[in-house]
Structure 1
Amino acid sequence: MATDKIPADRPEALRLGRSAPVKCLHFFCIFLFTAASAACIVGLTLCLVVLRVKVPTVKLTLVAVKDLQYGFSPTPFMEATLIGEITMENPNFGEFKYEEIRNVTLIYDGVTVGIGEVKRVSVNAKSIEKTNFTVKVEPNSSFVDVDYFSYDLARLKTMNMSCIAQFEGRAHLLKLFKAKKISVLKCSMSLNLTSHGVQNLACL
């Protein structure tokens, strides 16, 4: 009875047949690793760039003077209405909303001489928004240094003042995340009593 011979290449064929699934699994693992790495890079970029919340910049960009009056009888006095324009710049990839009405304080010789209100403002992503406030300035000899005040009125014809405020709000990112930030307004300026205008306006 004739015996069937086993083909000489059968072991090689079996080896190749078994290694094919192993290669597929190997390539699949490489693909998963590459996809996971790409997802991590994208996520890290999203966190570092898109979701990184920066504090919006707030500056006093313009001040108009109305109804300025000053004199020395019976004591030194000055009255004026200042209308300020505030520029708010949002560098974030989401809308920034200032949550409450905030006060802007004017200070002369270390003393508060006027307070104005700034309404709530929303600033779109990567945008600039402007808002106004009005403040009545009324320094008088009852709470400021009389000699210092008189010298500014009579000799210098200018009054150096500072303007400060804090604006608290939240950045809304991708409609999923909210981050709280506080913008600080701190500016200096000189009120010119002769020209009835503001000069040397500068903000930090």
Structure 2
Amino acid sequence: MAEKYNHTQQAPVHHTQQAPVERHSRNGEESNTYQFKDEIKREKRIKMYKYIGAFIVFQIIVFTVFGLTVVKVKTPKVRLGAIDIQSLNSVPATPSFDASFTTQIRVKNPNWGPFKFDASIATFSYQGVTLGQVLIQKSKAKMRSTKKIGVTVNLNSKALPSSSNLGSELKSGVLTLRSQAKLSGKVEIMSVTKKKKSAQMDCAIVFDLSKKAIQGMECE
């Protein structure tokens, strides 16, 4: 009976000695687990901060490009298109001439928004004297496009004073006229920005009287 009693007393002693080791092992594993989780969280935070920084830089670049290209409003241009002569008659001895032709008023809008312009007049003159006019109706040129307005022009020299150089110019076989126009309106960017702009035209048109054709045209 003494041997059985001693044997049963040794078993609890054996388990009592192993318990601290197991607890220490579990504590070590839990500590490593927490450190691993903290490391993952730290890496996620770093990645998140990198993404936020990259996004901010991207937004700055976008707004900078937007401000330099889109929001910056440029002045539209208005020019004459190709001229198709219907009739061209001249009498150097009188002197007198009359002309009829078709052309286009071209409004070029380089902006990222429409250019809405009011009605205006295009004049055709000789040495500062108006010989004819055409109406440019109220309209708009869409963003980054050219609005083409077809017109028919009828001119004659009746308004010129007798002191003009018309006679000598008609004898040379070349006649130079000028065409001018001003279009006033607003450029609208993304329905937010509206800026007043005026497009101006000043073209010199050279007629070849013998060939009844256009010798050249230059617009400013």
TM-score by length of 2: 0.70
Structure 1 residue aligned with 2:18: none
Unaligned ranges ≥5, structure 1: 1-20
Pairing partner for 2:129 from 81, 98, 111: 111
Q: Secondary structure at the match of 2:157?
A: coil
Unaligned ranges ≥5, structure 2: 1-40
Q: Secondary structure at the match of 2:82?
A: strand
Structure 2 residue aligned with 1:151: 168
1:60-99 equivalences in 2 (<5 Å): 60-71=80-91, 75-97=94-116, 99=117
The answer to whether structure 1 residue 52 and structure 2 residue 72 are counterparts is yes
Q: Deviations over 1:95-148 (max 9, x none)?
A: 222x222111112123222221122332222222211223321223752534x1
Q: Secondary structure at the match of 1:62?
A: coil
Q: Secondary structure at the match of 1:53?
A: coil
Q: Is the 8 A contact 1:86 1:131 kept in 2?
A: yes
* Number of residue pairs aligned between Structure 1 and Structure 2: 200
Q: Secondary structure at the match of 1:47?
A: helix
Identical positions, percent:
22
- Once the two structures are TM-superposed, the CA of residue 76 in structure 1 deviates from its matched residue by 2.0
Pairing partner for 2:59 from 39, 52, 55: 39
- Once the two structures are TM-superposed, the CA of residue 32 in structure 1 deviates from its matched residue by 5.3
Pairing partner for 1:184 from 183, 187, 200: 200
Q: Is the 8 A contact 1:170 1:178 kept in 2?
A: yes
- Once the two structures are TM-superposed, the CA of residue 33 in structure 1 deviates from its matched residue by 5.3
Higher strand share: 1
Q: 1:144 to 1:107 in 2, by over 3 A?
A: farther
- Once the two structures are TM-superposed, the CA of residue 48 in structure 1 deviates from its matched residue by 1.0
Pairing partner for 2:150 from 115, 132, 140: 132
Look up the equivalent residue of 2:112 and give its one-letter code: F
Query: Cα RMSD between the aligned structures?
Result: 3.4
Q: 1:171 to 1:42 in 2, by over 3 A?
A: same
- Once the two structures are TM-superposed, the CA of residue 200 in structure 1 deviates from its matched residue by 0.9
Q: 1:145 to 1:134 in 2, by over 3 A?
A: farther
TM-score by length of 1: 0.75
Q: Is the 8 A contact 2:88 2:212 kept in 1?
A: yes
- Pair member with larger Rg: 2
Q: Distance in 1 between the 2:124 and 2:173 partners?
A: 18
Q: Secondary structure at the match of 1:40?
A: helix
Higher helix share: 2
Structure 1 residue aligned with 2:35: none
Look up the equivalent residue of 1:114 and give its one-letter code: G
Q: Is the 8 A contact 2:74 2:110 kept in 1?
A: yes
